[in-house]
A and B are shown apart, each in its own frame.
Chain A
């Protein structure tokens, strides 16, 4: 039971390049999330998904796209990377949408992305 995994762990891009971050979970969770963490800040929501085939925008969606073709995978794409997208990216998943400790979000280890 691997929990939430993220690929890759580190990446350096040049401005204008594209890439895809992969998040996978083996807990059969419906809800998945992408956050970014910048120095001195908490995590901010980029996009989220409430089930296979669904996606929605979060607080800071500009410059990112996502897809949830399979329940266990949530992909985050950067079409044309910018230095402002240098950040640590976390994927998370949760089982229940309802209030309660069951709605604990399980986080992946993070991807550290640098855009030059």
Chain B
């Protein structure tokens, strides 16, 4: 079974600084995919970034990048140059090949960006 652990319930960062949100995972699948989603206070789920287990490079999307360490089973999200609009819940998730490729989510990290 796949499992995602996000150990930081809440994080603070000052505007324009970088922040790292932690995610560790456990899976028995030889190949797997990891996602990060953002959920602002309005409630919608916004896809941020994807990392495949066999991707040669760590994923990047604009100000978002993944620090993917396969041996450590970690996929930490790095947000550079934080903006006030980055304040939200952030969820790490792994594809579950046993459930129609649904997502197994962590409990999330609440990020607050301060001026």
Task: State the A residues within 8 Å of B (CB).
Answer: 31, 33, 35, 40-45, 48-50, 56, 58-59, 88, 90, 92, 94, 97-101, 103-107, 109-110
Contacts and interface: CB of A to CB of B under 8 A. Distances in A.
A110 B32 contact: no
Taking residues whose C-beta sits less than 8 angstroms from the other chain, chain B's interface range is: 20 to 34
Contacts of B106: 42
A56 B37 CA distance: 24
B101 interface: yes
B53 to A, nearest CB: 8
Contacts of B45: 43, 90, 92, 107
B91 interface: yes
A42 B100 contact: no
B99 interface: yes
11 contacts: A31-B100, A42-B4, A42-B93, A43-B91, A44-B105, A98-B101, A99-B32, A103-B95, A106-B47, A109-B44, A110-B44
Nearest to A94: B101
Contact of A105 (B43, B47, B53): B47
SS class of chain B's interface: helix, strand, loop or mixed?
strand
B105 A43 contact: yes
A41 B93 CA distance: 12
Given A41-B107, A109-B44, A99 B102 contact: no
A104 B47 CA distance: 7
Contacts of B44: 107, 109-110
A100 B105 contact: no
A101 B32 CA distance: 11
B80 to A, nearest CB: 20
Contacts of B99: 45, 48, 56, 58-59
Given A42-B91, A110-B43, A33 B102 contact: yes
A99 B33 contact: yes
